[in-house]
Amino acid sequence: MKKPIATQSVQDYLKHIYELTEHGSSASTGALAQRLNVKPASVTGMLRKLAAEDPPLVEYQKHQGVMLTADGRRAALEVIRHHRLIEAWLVQSLGYSWDEVHEEAERLEHVISEEFERRIDAALGHPTRDPHGEIIPGADLSMPEDESMPLSALRPGRSATVLRVLARDPNLLRHLDSLGLTPGARIEALDYSPFDNNLTIRVGEKMHVLGLNITTKVFVRFDGESHKD
């Protein structure tokens, strides 16, 4: 198993391809360009390069979108492991709040050594989730199945536990924090309005009415679901 030294750009491409394709479908050139803040032509060029690597990191047919190969997926998970470990470390060891860590981690993830990765992993006690509740891939780059469901699927009468939030915007993260919607929070669905998709929930003593903007970004485990560990 060789260790190809990917550049920061390549790492970013692989990471974003992973995030766009983790649930099956392939990623379009345009969608990638938007996420990476580059022009579509740049994406096409990079995809051709990644597909021509030995071994190939992506599977790419022009006009048909892109998917990661097994090798590409491993490389992406290595970057994601760095990112999430760093976020956990910034919060737990340096007192950052969860809305301040993304940008910092975005730069550090590409430059830390394997040794540094092992040190912070050990210092944190081998955490399995980052501050947003996202699963941290294992040192062997294994990625457990994500069992969470969007809050938008919770119906009145059922309760659930927040597992993770899918958000990077600091303003949104602070807002979620003020609502008490952080990993581990226990919530109960009280009412649902089909017309506008608003969900009324209780968190602790407080009640909130949430729109799709939030209910599709907070992921929970329904009460009664089995779970390992």
Partner DNA sequence: AACTTTTTTTAGTCTTAACTAAAATTTGAC
Partner DNA sequence: GTCAAATTTTAGTTAAGACTAAAAAAAGTT
Question: By the criterion CB under 7 A, which residues form the site for DNA?
Answer: 7-10, 28-31, 33, 36-49, 62-65
**HSE toward the beta carbon, residue 2, CA cutoff 13 A:** 5
Residue 29 or 152: which CB sits closer to DNA?
29
194 binds, among DNA, a second copy, none (CB under 5 to 8 A by kind): a second copy
10 Å CB burial of residue 39 (0-12, 13-18, 19+) is exposed
Q: Between 69 and 200, name the residue whose CB sits nearer to DNA.
A: 69
Give the CA distances from residue 210 to residues 7, 196, 199, in Å, rounded to whole numbers and listed in that order. 41, 10, 5
Please say which residue, 96 or 192, places its beta carbon nearer to a second copy: 192
Residue 216 beta carbon to DNA: minimum distance, rounded to whole angstroms? 22
State which amino acid sits at residue 163. Answer: L
Residue 66 CB, nearest distance to DNA (Å)?
A: 8
Looking at the Cβ atoms of 74 and 175, the one nearer to DNA is 74
Terminal C-alpha separation, the chain: 30
Neighbours of 68 (CB within 10 A): 24
Least Å from the CB of residue 156 to a second copy: 6
Query: Which run of H or of E encompasses 128?
Result: none
State the nearest-atom distance from the C-beta of 228 to a second copy, in Å: 10
- The answer to the question of residue 169 lying near a second copy (CB under 8 A) is no
When CB distances are held under 5 to 8 angstroms depending on the partner's kind, the choice from a second copy, DNA, none that residue 125 binds is: none
- Pick 28 or 69: Cβ nearer DNA: 28
Q: Does residue 225 bind a second copy (CB under 8 A)?
A: yes
Quick one: which of 138, 192, 202, 203 contacts a second copy (CB under 8 A)? 192
Joined together, the tokens standing for residue 148 give 């969470």
| 149 near a second copy, rule: CB under 8 A | yes
CB crowding 130-157: b at 16 or more within 10 Å, else e: bbbbbbbbeeeeebeeeebeebbebeee
